[in-house]
Amino acid sequence: MKSSKRMVAALPRWVLVLLALVLLASACGGNDDEGGDGAEAPQPAVSEPADTGGETGSTPAETEPAEADSETDEPAPAATAESASTDAPAPEEAPEATPEPIVLTDSFRGVTSEAILIGHSSIDFEKLNADFGLDLPYQNFGPPFLAMVDWYNEQGGVLGRRLEVVSELFLPVGATTAEAACLKLTEDEQVFAVINGFAGPGAEQVNTCVTELHDTILVGGLPTPEQAAAAGGLWVSPQMSLERRNTAMVSILEQTGRIDDLSPVMIIGAHPEQQALVDGIAEDLKAAGAEVPVVGVVTTTGDQFATQAEMDVYIERARSDGVVSILLTGEDNYRNTHLWNTAPEFVYLIGNGDRLADWQREPPDGLQDGTKVLTARGGPSPMEDPRILHCIDVIEGALGIEILPLEELGEGDIQHWAGMINACRDLAMFVQIAEAAGPDLTNDSWVAALDNVPDISVPGVQFASLSANKVDAADELFLVEYDFNARAFIELAGPLDVG
């Protein structure tokens, strides 16, 4: 048999590094009031009788008085207000309207009058460790998810329908096991929705198997703008997309009054596909008052020496144009390492700081003490958020475990945080949208409901919003600076609403 060390070596180093970043990102993802159980049915207004000063009927128009009868010469007695008011019947009060009862039917695939069948896809950490000789300390996400499902069912489920779960595990290396899980959930089990989705090198692409190939709702993951558009409202996430996190840097710098100090700004995207993204950021920065003399992308992705040569050209342009800061979008280690090694004098703005958790253990290659790095993150641990504390209480009580935030984990501690936070947020989002969709739960009513939950609540996040055109809910970011010696991100400002 091969030794564990040789099994690790079977994978390229970049795969293992990227895998670790993905796993840590899911644990540290972005951090509002809990949604209510639904508003009461509005009562119809009761019409009040018009105020007539005690008289009923309309006031007769003035006319010439009729001549008295020639024989009696006595005028007819005038009607009095008293007689008019006593003759008028008292208005009857309208009966109070009774709310229409909710009628549940077998409305769609995976939805019966009694239950909603949902799929839960998650990484098999036990098999991953065994197959590749790893020692990742993560608990599988299934147990905390099922604990939260049980709690929702105890509260009445979704408008009276209980939640039933089919769980499928996959390995986050390659698409093979992820595709098998997708087909099992969507074709064999015919679930109404898949929760959590797929993550990892090669597995992340399988999310479109759920939404595009099988027209099934997906809650979780991070859809790109193109994937979100293709899903047509079927793919939603409680997190903030990496593209929107990049563009949010402009709002953050503007809100914190740092535009002037960091201008002129050079922007470098990680690959050619980001050209439109960096062009849009440049326009936003210019509109905010910044100078942006240089905008470009890495055209030599994957070639270390060619990327270094390309960065040398950018550095010379930056120095000649008096650039103060360099905004980096996307992930490209060759780009970043060479810039930090050869141009430590610039301030570096990391657009999508969601994947920088590894910096808290060891600074990245090339970064030097004294080089200033600013980024936007989901803020500190949301342990004071009552919605997060509620999820922790439910899961700890059900599983008999202790859930510690990442900064409190000791050597050898099991990491339960990622499974808790994903279950807490994904289920909260699914239940809120499904209840807004109403008793006739279908794909169409789900999509229509996206514009009917303006007060969407994401546990651990103060600001959030949702619509048919914005399916990544989180709007909260903190501006942080990396402390090289402390190996920690120091909060400078926040929470900031970048929605």
Tally of CB atoms within 10 A around 269: 26
Same domain, 295 and 430: no
Indicate if 367 and 329 belong to the same structural domain: yes
Let me know how long the chain is. Answer: 499
**Over residues 170-180, mean pLDDT:** 95
The reported pLDDT for the residue numbered 101 is 75
Q: Which of 397, 373, 398 is nearest to 489 (CA)?
A: 373
pLDDT one-digit tens code per residue, 246-298: 999 999 999 999 999 999 999 999 999 999 999 999 999 999 999 999 999 99
pTM, full prediction: 0.76
State residue 279's pLDDT score. 96
Of residues 41 and 338, more confidently modeled: 338
47 assigned to some structural domain: no
- 238 in a domain, yes or no? no
Question: Residue 301: what pLDDT?
Answer: 87
- Is pLDDT larger for residue 335 or for residue 382? 335
Q: Is 268 helix (H, G, I), strand (E, B) or coil?
A: strand
Tell me whether residue 206 is in a domain.
yes
- Bridge partners of 325, per DSSP, are 265, 347
In sequence order, what are the beta bridge partners of 236? Answer: 219
Helix axes 242-255, 275-287, angle to 10 degrees: 20
pLDDT of residue 87: 52
Give the pLDDT band (50/70/90) at residue 436. very high
**Average pLDDT of the chain to the nearest whole number:** 84
Domain-embedded: residue 88: no
Q: Which SS3 state, helix, strand or coil, does residue 297 take?
A: strand
In a domain, 90, yes or no: no
φ/ψ of 166, rounded to 5, equals -115, 120
355 and 489 co-located in one domain? yes
Rounded CA separation 228/216 (Å): 13
Instruction: Write down the pLDDT at residue 27.
Output: 45
Looking at the fold, whether 192 and 270 belong to one and the same domain comes out as no
Structurally, the chain folds into a number of domains equal to 2
Question: What is the predicted pLDDT for the residue at 14?
Answer: 38
Tell me the C-alpha distance between 151 and 431, whole Å: 12
- 347's enclosing H/E stretch is strand 347-350
Any domain includes 266? yes
Phi, psi of 139 (to 5 degrees): -75, 140
CATH number at 124 reads: 3.40.50.2300
Round to whole Å and give the CA distance between 354 and 239.
10
Residue 48 has pLDDT above 70, yes or no: no
pLDDT band per the 50, 70, 90 thresholds, residue 25: very low
Residue 64 within a domain: no
Which residues are paired to 318 by β-bridges? none
Work out whether the CA dihedral 106, 107, 108, 114 comes out positive or negative.
Answer: negative
CA distance 19 to 199: 9
178 and 213 belong to one structural domain: yes
* Residue 91 pLDDT level (bands cut at 50, 70, 90): low
Backbone angles phi, psi at 124, to 5 degrees: -90, 90
- Whether 431 shows a pLDDT value over 90: the answer reads yes
Peptide bond into 75 cis (omega under 30): no
**Rg, C-alpha atoms of the chain:** 31
Which of 64-68, 93-97, 116-120 tops mean pLDDT?
A: 116-120
Cα distance between residue 353 and residue 369, in whole Å: 19
Q: Examine the pLDDT at 156 and tell me if it is beyond 80.
A: yes
Residues 274 and 343 both lie in one domain:
yes
Q: Is residue 247 part of a domain?
A: yes
> How confident is residue 69, by pLDDT bands cut at 50, 70 and 90?
very low
Note down the domain range covering 432. Answer: 11-20+103-219+383-460
